[in-house]
């Protein structure tokens, strides 16, 4: 069922979201300062490519202070807008029973889009 959900996700916009995250990650990695943020965009892109069957976990070994500062910077630079976009599509897809699994994946991606530092996709 996960494979079918991922294939339907890819066909109906998941691949476009993946490409957006990859291009944003490449643009952020152009500067040395943007590399950590670009890596987080790649993390979001991997989740956007194949979201069914993946979980988001907090890293036990993540540096607390640094990841907190980076999450605050990420939040104000673009994380809030990415999360609001995922929230909008999650609500839109959750209106019908058929679209609820895909809406749930957008809600999962919205939580990661708000604070990606100190988390990993498993």
| pLDDT tens digits, one per residue of 15-45 | 989 999 999 999 999 999 999 999 999 999 9
Residue 12: the pLDDT is 86
Residue 62: the pLDDT is 59
3-state secondary structure of 43: helix
Which residues are CB-contacts of 36 (< 8 A; sequence separation ≥ 6)?
A: 70, 117
3-state secondary structure of 61: coil
Residue 122: the pLDDT is 87
β-strand 56-58 against 119-121: which pairing, if any?
antiparallel
């Amino acid at each position: 069922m996960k494979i079918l959900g991922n294939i339907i996700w890819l066909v109906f916009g998941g691949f476009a979201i993946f490409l957006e995250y990859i291009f944003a990650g490449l643009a952020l990695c152009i500067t040395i300062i943007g590399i950590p943020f670009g890596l987080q965009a790649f993390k979001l892109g991997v989740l956007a490519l194949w979201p069914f069957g993946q979980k988001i976990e907090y890293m036990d070994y993540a540096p607390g202070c640094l990841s907190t500062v980076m999450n605050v910077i990420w939040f104000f630079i673009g994380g809030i807008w990415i999360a609001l976009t995922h929230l909008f599509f999650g609500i839109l897809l959750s209106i019908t029973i058929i679209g609820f699994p895909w809406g749930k994946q957008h809600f999962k991606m919205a939580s990661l889009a708000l604070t990606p530092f100190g988390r990993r996709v498993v």
